[in-house]
Amino acid sequence: MNCPVVAAFDSGNLIPVAKQLHDKYPNKPIVIAGDDDLHLIALNGKNTGREKAQEAAQSVNGIAVFPVFALNEQESQKLSDFNDLANKSALGMQAVKRQIGTAIEKAIQQNTIQKHQSQLQQAKPQNQSQLEIKAKSQKRALV
């Protein structure tokens, strides 16, 4: 995939790491590859890996992506992350490439849309001020 990767290793680090990356590279899309700890929901009622990844992605207008395993694999083997998908799943590394690749494409599209919206918003005041100047000059010409 030839993309830079940064690992936070702990869900508590995701938001600070994502924000630092975004501050350093504000025009680059960010994809958070989160853990999906379904087995922890039964223990403590929370899926912290998923929650923190979604929060981190939202904090930088990024995309959160979670591994999708073969039917019944995740629950029976307690698989939760992309390393598990690559090494323990019947789907293997091809699934990782496909799932992460799709998330990267989506993040790039989202980033492109956000850039265009920002450019339009910046252009709007310029156009408005140009219209005001034109209106004032027309008003002066009438007087």
User: What is the tens place of the pLDDT at every residue in 35-85?
Assistant: 998 888 888 999 999 999 999 999 999 999 999 999 989 888 889 999 999
Q: Residues 28, 119, 6, CA angle at the centre, nearest 5°? A: 10
User: What is the tens place of the pLDDT at every residue in 90-110?
Assistant: 999 999 999 999 999 999 999
Structure tokens at 119: 């450019």
Q: How far is CA 99 from CA 8, 106, 122, 126, 131, in A?
A: 20, 11, 35, 41, 48
| pLDDT tier for residue 128 given thresholds of 50, 70 and 90 | low
Does the reported pTM lie above 0.85? Answer: no
Q: How far apart are CA 38 and CA 53, in angstroms?
A: 14
The predicted structure's pLDDT at residue 129: 63
